Structure 1
Amino acid sequence: MSTTPNPSPVYGPFVPPQWNPPDDPPGYGEPHPPGGANGEFSAEIQDLVTASVAWDGLSAALQKVWGYASEGWGYPSLFGMQDTLYTAGRLHQTVNEVLVNGAADGHWITQTLANGLVETANDLSGTDTTQGENFRKLKDRAGE
C-alpha cells in the first residue's frame, strides 16, 4: 500500500472557485511622495490616530472570529465517529485550522498596525514615552 498523497485534489460534483486575485495596477503599493522623488510625505497627527481606530475595529472583529472558530478546534469527529477519518471530518478540521490560524494572525497584525500608527502619531507630536521602532514586532513577525 502506497503512502504517497494523491497529487490531484478530490472534489465533489462541482469544482470549487479557483484562486484568481486581480492584478495590481503598475506602481501599486510603492511610495510616491508629493513633489517627485525628493519630496517628503506629510500627515496630520490626528489622521494617524483616526486610521488606527479602523485597524482596532478590524482587529476586534478578527478576535471574535477566532473565538467562534476555535470552538471547533480538534474535533474531526464533529460529524460522527464513522466520519472522523473520512471526508467531512478531515475537511472540517482543515478548514477550522485555517480559520483559527488566519484569524489569530490577522488579529495580531491589525492590532500591531493600529498600535504602530498611534505610536507614530506620538512620535510626531513629541509625546512618545516608549523607545524603539514602532513596527518592530510586525517586522519580526513577517520575518524581516
Structure 2
Amino acid sequence: MLNLVTNTLKTPPIAKSEVIMKLNTSPKEMFPKINKVIPYLPYIIKQSKNIIKILKPYIAIHWRMEQGNPILMPQCAKRLVKEVKKIQKKYGIKKNVYFATDFPLNGGKSQSQTFHKISKFHKNLLKYLNI
C-alpha cells in the first residue's frame, strides 16, 4: 500500500485518479521522520509567555475523541471532571479551565476533518462536562 500511494503521488497527473486513498491506516510511516526540532519564532514564544502570565494559574485540556472507544466516553468524561476538580482544589484554581476537543461542542460538524462517527455515547458525555 505504501508503494502504491507513494508512486501514485509521484506520477503526474494525479487528477486522472478518482481515488488516491480512502481512510487507510498504513502500518509503516509514509513520510520520513524529521529529527531536527523546528523552533517556534521568538514572537510566538514571547506572546505565549505573556498569555500565561495573564491566565496563570490555569488548566488546559486537549481531548481528541476521534479514535477513542465511544462506549467509554461518558466514563472518561466523569473521570476527567473528577481529576480537574482535584487539580483545582490542590492548586487553588477557581477558574481558567480551558477545554479543546475535536468533538462538535456547539452541535454541527466535528472540529476535525477526519472525525466522522459521532455516536450517542459521544453526545452523552456532554452532561458530565457541563458544557
TM-score category (smaller protein): under 0.3
Q: How does the TM-score come out when normalised to structure 2?
A: 0.22
- Bigger proportion of residues as helix: 1
Q: How does the TM-score come out when normalised to structure 1?
A: 0.21
